[in-house]
Amino acid sequence: MQYFMFGKKTEVTLEELIDYAIKEDGRKLLKDQFKGLYGDYGIVTPPYNPTLLAALLEVNSTHAACVDVIAGDVAGRGYSLDGDDPEVEEFFKNLPDPISTVLYNFVSDYQALGYAALAISYNDDGKPVDLYHVPAHTLRRHQDDMRVVQQVGGRAVWFKLVGVEKEVDKDTGEFYDDLPPEKRGDSIIWLQNYNPRSYYYGLAPIVPAMPAIYLGIAARKYNVSFFKNYGVPSLLMLIKGSFTDVDPTNPDVNLQEQATKALQEVMNNPHSAMILTLKSADAKAVDIDIKEMGMKSNEGEFIKLMEAIDDEILAVHRVPPYRVSINRIGSLSGNTAVESSKIYYESVIAPLQERIQSNITKWVIRDDGFESDAKFELSKMSLKEFKTDVDSVVALVQAGILSPAEARQYLKGYFNLKDEFVGPEAETLYHSGVPLDAAAAMSLQPVAEVARKLKEAKEGLK
């Protein structure tokens, strides 16, 4: 007896799962450009490949949305300067890239990779002339804790960390007491999340949820395969009897190739007939049995799995579901937007804003910058204002003054709502949950009933 099984299971590495989800022409970008340089130049290897961490944004929409929302909430509401200093004000106004864009990219790196970098350029007088973002996945720390190197293509550029007194040659990475301005490397503000496994690189929030992302990729791949195979994920063909793998009269005909071709024809043409002829080695019959393998796909289970994956990713980022347009109901069947917003802003946004503010104030405005007393501050969202706005809009909708569509338009900035069409019923005015047109019709019902009875009584007198 011989067995042939079609639809094999293979072990897939984490890198291969991400590789599966990325376009062919983008796979080469997953390689570590510093490979071969670690050790020889004192460059410290990160615990996780930063390019691979960056690629996670391309394969999971919830993760990408969380990073986008946090970056927008931290840096997207503007800034102010506490203190009157025209020179500092002019510096921030005249940056080549708006400071909100620079910090948005900076926070995106911080959330996606666990660390981020801002570079400061100086003029001949030692005054800052530019503050710009450097993509963190292109940077590596030196073991001396004073230098950072950027590798893009075949070119390396060196920076020094803020606070280091000596000048670094941007081309060689060597330290000197003094260098011409055109040879000096810029200074780096390096911000990282705490990582118990590395002094040099931060721990990305998404790392604990990486298995969930891989599970989501595998689940999507399985679901696609299910529909591609018309609901039959895998088949087992059993061939029993006395037969030869190769046709003795035609050596070019192979049994396994014939069986594979016959199965593929059925998969390509559902409900068609499959004909497979085999030559027996003796008078005994040859039996062919085809069995469906695995369980039927369950749409409900797949949806629950994807929701569980989303919940895990939201948890590691500590982002409320509504901020990425996912609706969740609390344990008492109420929306928890206000309560979760308070926790989110106090535990995620405010601490990160404080770290950014203090670093820019210290290294750009004061110590190594303009030596000014001004303070850089990022604009914060008022939770009290948020709750007041939500409560007021809900009351106006219930009173029939605003339609749900108008309320959605007013509050979409808070909830990151999109502008997609929500249906004609959203344009209707409601009072206590009842459409005003229906309420008007209901108010006329008693009058109509009296008129009907009067008409019946009048006809009865005839």
pLDDT for residue 459 is more than 60: yes
Q: Is 178 a domain residue?
A: yes
The average confidence (pLDDT) of the chain is 78
- In sequence order, the β-bridge partners of residue 138 are none
pLDDT at 383: 61
Query: Same domain for 390 and 456?
Result: yes
Domain boundary among 297, 330, 352: 297
404 occurs within a structural domain: yes
β strands within 136-195, DSSP E: 139-141, 147-152, 155-161, 167-168, 175-176, 187-192
Of the two residues 94 and 443, the one the predictor is more confident about is: 94
Q: Is residue 19 part of a domain?
A: no
Question: Are 262 and 135 contained in the same domain?
Answer: no
Do residues 381 and 77 lie in contact, with contact meaning Cβ atoms separated by under 8 Å? yes
Give the pLDDT band (50/70/90) at residue 272.
low
Same structural domain, 292 and 307: no
Q: Is 167 helix (H, G, I), strand (E, B) or coil?
A: strand
pLDDT of the residue at 3: 33
Can you say how many angstroms the Cα of residue 32 is from the centroid of all Cα atoms in its chain? Answer: 21
Name the nearest CA neighbour of 255 among 272, 279, 222: 279
The predicted pLDDT at position 1 comes to 33
Q: Which DSSP symbol is given to 242?
A: S
* Amino acid symbol at 104: Y
How confident is the model over 422-450, as a mean pLDDT?
Answer: 64
Domain count, the chain: 3
Asked whether the beta carbons of 274 and 266 are under 8 A apart, the reply is yes
Whether residue 273 is predicted with pLDDT greater than 90 in this model: the reply is: no
User: What would the mean pLDDT of 313-328 be, rounded to a whole number?
Assistant: 86
Cβ(75)–Cβ(108) under 8 Å? no
Q: Check residue 24 and give its pLDDT.
A: 42
What are the angstrom distances between the C-alpha of 212 and each of 18, 115, 207, 215, 299? 12, 22, 10, 5, 19
Residue 148, beta-bridge partner list: 141, 159
Q: Is 23 helix (H, G, I), strand (E, B) or coil?
A: coil
- Least confident range from 49-53, 252-256, 439-443: namely 439-443
- Per DSSP, the three-state class of 81 is strand
Beta strands 175-176; 287-293: pairing state: unpaired
Sign of CA dihedral 170, 172, 173, 174: negative
Residue 75 belongs to some domain of the structure = yes
Q: CA quadruple 332, 335, 338, 341: dihedral positive or negative?
A: positive
What is the structure's pLDDT at 9?
Answer: 38
Q: What pLDDT was estimated at residue 312?
A: 93
Tell me if the pTM is above 0.85. no
pLDDT band with cut points at 50, 70 and 90 for residue 187: very high
Cβ proximity of 222 and 305 under 8 Å: no
Q: Which strands form 287-293's sheet, in the order they lie side by side?
A: 2-6, 234-240, 287-293
CB 380, CB 77: distance < 8 Å? yes
Could you give the dihedral angle defined by the CA atoms of residues 229, 232, 238 and 244, in that order, rounded to the nearest 10 degrees? 0
Task: Among 330-344, 359-373, 382-396, name the most confident range.
Answer: 359-373
> Has residue 240 got a pLDDT over 60?
yes
Same domain, 311 and 423: no
Quote the DSSP letter at residue 45: P
Least Cα distance to 222 among 212, 232, 235 occurs for 232
Lowest mean pLDDT among 6-10, 90-94, 278-282, 410-414: 6-10
Q: In whole angstroms, what is the distance from residue 34 CA to residue 151 CA?
A: 7
Contact 184, 124 (CB under 8 A): no
pLDDT at 355 over 60: yes
Most confident of the following: 212-226, 274-288, 361-375, 436-450: 361-375
Read off the pLDDT of each residue in 256-284 and give the average, rounded to a whole number. Answer: 63
Is there a single domain that holds both residue 43 and residue 147? yes
Element (H, E) at 238: strand 234-240
Tell me if 141 is assigned to some domain: yes
Least confident range from 56-60, 74-78, 145-149, 321-325: namely 321-325
Q: Tell me: do 286 and 407 sit in the same domain.
A: no
Identify the residue with better confidence: 118 or 226.
Answer: 118
Q: Do residues 56 and 158 both lie within one domain?
A: yes
pLDDT value of position 281: 58
Same domain, yes or no, for 70 and 129?
Answer: yes
Structural domain span for residue 364: 31-227+298-381
CB 51 within 8 A of CB 30: yes
Clarify whether residues 94 and 166 are in a common domain: yes
Task: Tell me how crowded residue 176 is: count the other CB atoms within 10 A of its CB.
Answer: 13
- 120 near 130, Cβ under 8 Å? yes
Cβ–Cβ < 8 Å for 101, 95: no
Residue type, 346: E
| Mean pLDDT value of segment 261-274 | 63
Summarised one tens digit per residue, pLDDT across range 244-253 is: 666 666 777 6
Structure tokens at 83: 């203190």
Q: Determine the pLDDT at residue 188.
A: 96
**Residue 299: other Cβ atoms inside 10 A:** 8
- Is residue 119 located within the same domain as residue 216? yes
> Do residues 346 and 460 share a domain?
no
